[in-house]
Amino acid sequence: MFSRTASYYDKLYAGKDYVGEVARLIAILGIQPDEKQLTLLDVACGTGRHIQHLCKHFDVEGLDICPELLDIARARNTDLAFHLGDMTRFELGKQFDIVTCLFSSIGYVRTLDRLGAAMCSMAKHLKPGGVLVVEPWFTPETWHADTVHSLYVDEAELKVARISTSLVKDKMSVFDLHHLIGTTSGTEQLVEHHELGLFEVDEMTSAIERAGLRAEYDPGGLTGRGLYLGSRSE
Q: What count of other Cβ atoms lies within 10 Å of the Cβ of residue 181?
A: 19
pLDDT above 70 as % of the chain: 98
pLDDT above 90 as % of the chain: 95
**Which of 134-167 are b and which e, b meaning 16 or more Cβ less than 10 Å from the residue's Cβ?**
bbbbbeeeebeeeeeeeeebeeeeeebebebeee
From CA 92, how far away is CA 70, in angstroms rounded?
16
Q: Which of 56, 62, 60, 123 is nearest to 88 (CA)?
A: 123
Mean pLDDT of 58-87: 97
Mean pLDDT of 192-213: 98
Handedness of CA 59, 63, 69, 71 (dihedral sign): positive
DSSP 7-40: HHHHHHTTT--HHHHHHHHHHHHT--TT-TTSEE
| pLDDT higher than 60, residue 8 | yes
3-state helix, strand, coil in the chain (%, to 5): 25, 35, 35
Mean pLDDT of 131-150: 97
* Cα–Cα distances in angstroms (integers) from residue 231 to residues 131, 205, 208, in the given order: 5, 12, 9
From CA 67, how far away is CA 114, in angstroms rounded?
21
From CA 166, how far away is CA 204, in angstroms rounded?
22
pLDDT digits (tens, 9 = 90+) for 23-71: 999 999 998 766 568 999 999 999 999 999 999 999 999 999 999 999 9
Mean pLDDT of 80-100: 98
- pLDDT value for 36: 63
Contacts of 221 (CB under 8 A, 6+ apart): 28, 135, 136, 227
Which domains are delineated in the chain? 6-139+198-231 (3.40.50.150), 147-197 (2.20.130.10)
* pLDDT mean across residues, the chain: 96
| pLDDT higher than 90, residue 224 | yes
C-alpha dihedral, 216 to 217 to 222 to 225, nearest 10°: 150
- pLDDT value for 2: 87
From CA 134, how far away is CA 157, in angstroms rounded?
37
From CA 4, how far away is CA 162, in angstroms rounded?
14
